[in-house]
């Protein structure tokens, strides 16, 4: 009997998760992403000067701007919350001990030429690329 309850619970959870997977909304076909950011590499360097312990030591690997959008969480209905351009960048800089930490990935979200958000890591669940 206990095994049956566990199996039933797994089935219910699987059904609920599969129902949630399609609930995130996508931007409509006429949505305006704006223009790709100009001078984004310099804007990113200026941004990281405020974040890094030793910004002068930083080395960068820049990706190209791509159209992207974000969603609110499922609790809030999965609605589209931002559209614009995303730039992937990897940053390697010295830490407090003077050693390089290795390249770390970031995603920077742009509205026009302005950075509206940066996210550590390269695979955030609510950021979708339109490649």
Task: Encode pLDDT of 4-52 as tens digits.
Answer: 676 777 676 655 555 555 577 888 888 899 999 999 999 999 999 999 9
pLDDT in tens, 50-107: 999 999 999 999 999 999 999 887 777 788 889 999 999 999 999 989 999 999 999 9
User: What's the length of the chain?
Assistant: 131
Report phi then psi at 95, rounded to 5.
-95, -170
Give the whole-angstrom CA distance, residue 11 versus residue 26. 28
Q: Give the tokens for residue 100.
A: 């390089």
pLDDT number for residue 22 = 55
pLDDT number for residue 5 = 75
pLDDT number for residue 25 = 84
Domain ranges of the chain: 2-129
- Give the number of C-alpha atoms closer than 13 A to the C-alpha of residue 76, restricted to the C-beta side: 8
Give the whole-angstrom CA distance, residue 131 versus residue 25. 17
Give the whole-angstrom CA distance, residue 54 versus residue 112. 28
């Amino acid at each position: 009997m206990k095994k049956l309850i566990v199996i039933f619970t797994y089935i219910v959870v699987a059904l609920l998760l599969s129902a949630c997977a399609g609930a995130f909304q996508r931007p409509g076909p006429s949505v305006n992403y704006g223009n790709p950011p100009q001078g984004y590499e310099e804007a990113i360097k200026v941004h990281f000067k405020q974040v890094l312990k030793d910004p002068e030591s930083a080395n960068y690997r820049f990706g190209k701007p791509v159209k992207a959008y974000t969603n609110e969480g499922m609790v809030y209905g999965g609605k589209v919350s931002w559209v614009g351009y995303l730039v992937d960048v990897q940053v390697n800089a010295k830490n407090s001990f003077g050693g390089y930490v290795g390249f770390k990935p970031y995603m920077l979200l742009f509205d026009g030429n302005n950075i509206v958000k940066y996210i550590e890591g390269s695979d955030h669940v609510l950021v979708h690329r339109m490649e």
